[in-house]
A = this chain, B = another copy of it.
Amino acid sequence: MRGNVFAVTVELVVLTVRDGRLQVLLVRREMAPHAGELALPGGFVRPQEDLLETAARELAEGTGLALPGHHLEQLGSYAAPDRDPRGRVLGVGHLALVPAGSLDTTPVGGHWSPVEETGPLAFDHAVILTDGVERARAKLEYTTLAASFCPEPMTVTQLRRVYEAVWGVEIDPRNFNRKVTSTPGFLLPTEERTSSGRGRPAQLFKRGPATVLHPPMLREPPAQ
Q: Could you list which residues of chain A lie within 8 angstroms of chain B, going by C-beta atoms? A: 1-9, 44-51, 74, 76-77, 79-81, 86-90, 92, 142, 214-216, 218, 220, 222-223
Known interface pairs A74-B77, A214-B220, A220-B214; A47-B4 also in contact (CB < 8 Å): yes
Measured in the bound complex, the distance between the Cα atoms of B66 and A97 in whole Å is 39
Interface pair B48/A81, CB less than 8 Å apart: yes
Instruction: Give chain B residues whose Cβ lies under 8 Å from the Cβ of A48.
Output: 81
Chain B residue, CB-CB nearest to A73: B76
Query: How would you classify the secondary structure of chain A's contact residues: helix, strand, loop or mixed?
Result: loop
Interface pair B44/A3, CB less than 8 Å apart: yes
Given contacts A2-B44, A3-B45, could you give 19 more A-B pairs where the C-beta distance is less than 8 Å? A3-B8, A3-B9, A3-B46, A4-B8, A4-B45, A4-B47, A6-B6, A8-B8, A8-B79, A49-B81, A50-B80, A51-B79, A77-B77, A77-B90, A90-B90, A214-B222, A214-B223, A215-B218, A216-B216
Instruction: Give chain B residues whose Cβ lies under 8 Å from the Cβ of A220.
Output: 214
Measured in the bound complex, the distance between the Cα atoms of B163 and A174 in whole Å is 36
